[in-house]
Amino acid sequence: MSTSHAAGRLEAHLRDAGLAPGDRLLPERQLTERLGVSRRALREALGELELQGRIWRGVGQGTFLGPRPAVPPRPEPRARAANPLAVMEARLTLEPALAALAAHKATAEDVQAISRAARRGAETRDQDSWGQWDGAFHGAIARACHNPLLQAAFEQVEASRARTGWGRLRAAITTAPMRQASALQHQAIAAAIADRDAAAAQRAMRAHLRAVVLAIQSEDTDGDDTTEPRTQHADHDAGTAATTERAQARGKTSP
C-alpha cells in the first residue's frame, strides 16, 4: 500500500476521532489494524505529519496531535541566549555532534525523515515554507540520535532561537539564492548520515552553521556582549566551504 493512501486514511481517522491538540494517538500496532495499512506505510505517513509540525512523538510517551509543546522556561540564562550569535555558538557546539551521532544511530525511518525534510526544503519557493522545512530538517537529526537528554538540549536552543529577533533576521538573510545554498548544505548532511559517515556529517553540519554565523555577521547584528562563536579550530573543509559561500553570496545563508 502506498504512503499517500496510508496518509489519506490516517487523515480521515484523525478527523473522525475528534482528537484535540495534545491528545494521544493510538499505538502504531492498533492504528495499522484500524486503518488497514502496513506498518511501514503508516510510519512514513506519521513521519510526514511530524515534519509538518502536525504531530509530535515523545520518547517512551507515544504520538500526540499538534505541535510539540514549548520547552519549559529557564529564566536565568534567557537574556544571553536571546542573542543570535549566542544561539549560534550553542548550535555550533551541539549540532555537529548530533549529526555525527545520527550517522551512527539513525534508523531507516530516521534517514528517510531527514532526507525528506532536505528534499522539501530544496523545493520551497518562499521564506515561510523554507523556515518550516529547515526546522524539520534539524529536528529530524536531533530525534535520530535517540537520546532524550540531547534532544532536550536541542529543543532548549531552538526555544531560545524563537525568542530572539530571528524573524527579522531570517527575512534579511534568506533570499532565494541563499536558500538554495542552504538546501545544498542540507542535502550534503543528509547524504553523509545516510552513508553512516559520522566525520563527514559533522564537517558538513559545521560548515552549514558557520555559513549562518557569517550571514548574521554580515547583517551587522548587535553582539550584546556575546563573543563570536569560536570556529577557528573547525575542520579545514568546513572553513573552506563557508569562506567560499561568503565570497559567492556574501554569506547570506538561511539559519
Residue 235, pLDDT above cutoff 70? no
Gap between the Cα atoms of 251 and 132, Å rounded = 21
pLDDT of 111: 94
Give me the chain's average pLDDT, please. 79
Question: Is residue 249 predicted with pLDDT exceeding 90?
Answer: no
DSSP one-letter string for the chain: --HHHHHHHHHHHHHHHTPPTTPBPPPHHHHHHHHT--HHHHHHHHHHHHHTTSEEEETTTEEEESSPPPPPP-HHHHHHHTSHHHHHHHHHHHHHHHHHHHHHH--HHHHHHHHHHHHHHHH--SHHHHHHHHHHHHHHHHHHT--HHHHHHHHHHHHHHHTSSHHHHHHHH--HHHHHHHHHHHHHHHHHHHTT-HHHHHHHHHHHHHHHHHHHHHTT---TTPPPP--TTS-HHHHHHHHHHHHHHTT----
Q: Does the pLDDT value for residue 192 go beyond 80? A: yes
> How confident is residue 2, by pLDDT bands cut at 50, 70 and 90?
low
Q: What's the distance, CA 22 to chain centroid? A: 21
Average pLDDT estimate for 110-136: 89
The CATH class, in words, for 3-65 is: mainly alpha
- Name every residue whose Cβ is closer than 8 Å to that of residue 1 and which is 6 or more positions away in sequence: 37, 38, 41
> How high is the pLDDT of residue 233?
38
Q: Which among 199, 188, 181, 192 is positioned nearest to 235, based on CA atoms?
A: 199
Binned at pLDDT 50, 70 and 90, residue 71 comes out as low
CATH architecture type of domain 77-249: Up-down Bundle (1.20)
**Joined grid coordinates for residue 97:** 555532534
pLDDT surpasses 90 at 95: yes
- Asked whether the predicted pLDDT for residue 4 surpasses 70, the reply is yes
pLDDT over 60 at 222, yes or no: no
What was the pLDDT predicted at 216?
A: 82
For CA atoms 163, 169, 175, 180, give the dihedral sign.
negative
Extents of the domains making up the chain: 3-65, 77-249
CATH topology identical between 3-65 and 77-249: no
Question: In the predicted model, what is the mean pLDDT of residues 15-39?
Answer: 85
Q: Which of 129, 151, 112 is nearest to 52 (CA)?
A: 129
Tens of pLDDT, residue by residue over 131-184, are 888 988 999 999 999 998 999 999 888 887 766 666 667 767 777 888 899 999
The residue among 128, 129, 122, 111 whose CA lies nearest residue 43 is: 111
Identify the pLDDT of residue 43.
85
The length of the chain in residues reads: 255
